[in-house]
Amino acid sequence: MENPIKKTINGIDVYYIISDKYKTVTWSLTFTHEAGLEKINEYYFLSNILLDNMKNYPSNEKKYRYLSSLYGLEAFGSAKNIGNHITNQFVVTYPNELYIDGEEELSENAFKFLVDIIMNPKMRNGNFTKKVLKDNLDEATQLFSILKSIKDMHAYYNYTKIFYQDKQGLKYDFPSIDHIDKVNLETLFGAYQDFFTKDKVSIFVTGDIDVDKFNKIIEENLPKEIVDHSKKIGKKVYSYKKDYKPKVIKEYFDVSQSRIFMGYLTDTLYFSKNHAAMSVFNDVFGGFDQSLLFVKIREEDNLAYYVDSSYTPDEQSVTVSVSCEVKYEDEVVRKVKHILEEIKQGKFSDEVFKQAKDSCVNAIHSISDSQTIYLLQHIRNYQLFNSKYDLEKRVKSYEVVTREDVIEVANSLVLDTIYFYTKGDAHAKT
């Protein structure tokens, strides 16, 4: 991968990540807002509303017919939490015109379509329609109903509410059901206006492209209404204490088996020196099918239907997930704690350690297999660290991890929450 090229065009930072690996081109137009729950649902809704309610394409048939003329251009929008801010990302991907005989305007038309998503939503009397708002509110409510009906998802949702209740600002749910009743046409339109009056704006492009040509496309087609309001994207603030007493919560539902979540905190910072070591630790612990949790609790002792662990680096947390019979709950928790203590003492085989490292390295390599995922890594890095995502450097950071590094980060873990989603009276809680 070549070094990205940064340009400033019409006051907007533009990042070109040039690579001949991809046969497609991807544009991303990003709007970064202040963090907080005040407009979190509005930003989430706008990711869908702007794409699905374009004035120039009043019907899906007309829009898809036009996208077909752009060789099947694909478009999507999303809202993500990056650092202590929220970013709306609007993306288009299409075949590179280098590989299409006689085609010279595809990239320009793709960028015009991307701009059109932002600039020309269907409106009535200067605002979004009641129907558009109602449809999105209904969809959010339906999503939550579906979540409640799927036990594993509902259990995890309940766990996160408890884990993050004393860590405000670390994790945002999209949509936030707790704040859904505060959304109205005025707040929705106010969030839309933020795109033009408050937000940090950036453009990212990946593909095998001619920079001069793309500079010209942006210069000639970026509306004057899209203006960068520069702001520093800060990191999240964590509270980490070694002498923490964990929260132990048991909630009862009409279920046939228990779900258990054990949430740990670490002082390993996102993309810090020990980030890679913590990823390798997680695979040794419970991150793949030869991990200690999986082999010892599920395969050898037959105490669980499934057990695994996941590392969320930008939240500085490791979560153990278990599904088991009610009668095994306490024993499973003891086993998890015991296995972690064994890792802290270096009691894991060289074979498992090597497999975990190889698994992590393969996962990092796979990032570049997806143009949009690779692009998102660059967006995160530039917003948080003002630097490119260096894939080769990331791979190297995993390759040099030692057993001692894994033991060190394992000893940083502090148990924060144990949550039981179990069988019993739904009105009971301990």
Residue 235 falls inside a structural domain: no
Q: What is the pLDDT of residues 250-269, one digit of tens each?
A: 999 999 999 999 999 999 99
Residue 238 falls inside a structural domain: no
The token pair that represents 323 in the structure block: 């599904």
Domain final position from 186, 221, 256? 221
Which residues have C-beta within 8 Å of that of residue 237, sequence separation ≥ 6?
84, 169
Based on the domain organization, do 86 and 163 belong to the same domain?
yes
Return the percentage of the chain with pLDDT > 70, whole number. 98
Q: What is the pLDDT of residues 302-328, one digit of tens each?
A: 999 999 999 999 899 999 999 999 999
Based on the domain organization, do 276 and 198 belong to the same domain?
no
Based on the domain organization, do 216 and 272 belong to the same domain?
no
Least Cα distance to 246 among 147, 376, 340 occurs for 340
Residue where the block lists tokens 């990711």: 47
Answer yes or no: are the C-beta atoms of 169 and 204 closer than 8 Å: no
Q: What is the pLDDT of residues 359-407, one digit of tens each?
A: 999 999 999 889 999 999 999 999 888 888 998 999 999 999 999 999 9
Residue 240 falls inside a structural domain: no
Based on the domain organization, do 204 and 322 belong to the same domain?
no
Residue 190 falls inside a structural domain: yes
Based on the domain organization, do 300 and 204 belong to the same domain?
no
Alpha-carbon Rg for the chain, nearest whole angstrom, is 24
Alpha-carbon distance 296 to 287, whole Å? Answer: 13
Number of residues assigned to the chain: 430
Question: In the 8-state DSSP scheme, what is residue 181?
Answer: G
Alpha-carbon distance 413 to 266, whole Å? Answer: 5
Return the percentage of the chain with pLDDT > 90, whole number. 81
Based on the domain organization, do 136 and 13 belong to the same domain?
yes
Least Cα distance to 352 among 265, 288, 275 occurs for 288
Count of the separate structural domains present in the chain: 2
The token pair that represents 130 in the structure block: 């009641």
Residue 308 falls inside a structural domain: yes
pLDDT of the residue at 276: 97
* Domain boundaries, position 45: 5-221
Residue 21 falls inside a structural domain: yes
Based on the domain organization, do 340 and 263 belong to the same domain?
yes
Based on the domain organization, do 110 and 186 belong to the same domain?
yes
Q: What is the pLDDT of residues 41-91, one digit of tens each?
A: 999 999 999 999 999 998 989 999 999 999 999 999 999 988 888 999 999
Return the CATH number at 386: 3.30.830.10
Based on the domain organization, do 98 and 155 belong to the same domain?
yes
Residue 417 falls inside a structural domain: yes
Q: Are strands 5-9 and 12-18 parallel, antiparallel or unpaired?
A: antiparallel
Based on the domain organization, do 209 and 270 belong to the same domain?
no
Q: What is the pLDDT of residues 285-302, one digit of tens each?
A: 999 889 999 999 999 999
Based on the domain organization, do 269 and 216 belong to the same domain?
no
Q: What is the pLDDT of residues 87-98, one digit of tens each?
A: 999 999 999 999
Which residues have C-beta within 8 Å of that of residue 421, sequence separation ≥ 6?
151, 154, 155, 158, 159, 251, 253, 255, 258, 259, 260, 261
Residue 237 falls inside a structural domain: no
Domain final position from 169, 186, 221? 221
DSSP-based three-state secondary structure for 202 = strand
Question: In the 8-state DSSP scheme, what is residue 127?
Answer: B
Alpha-carbon distance 323 to 295, whole Å? Answer: 15
Based on the domain organization, do 214 and 260 belong to the same domain?
no
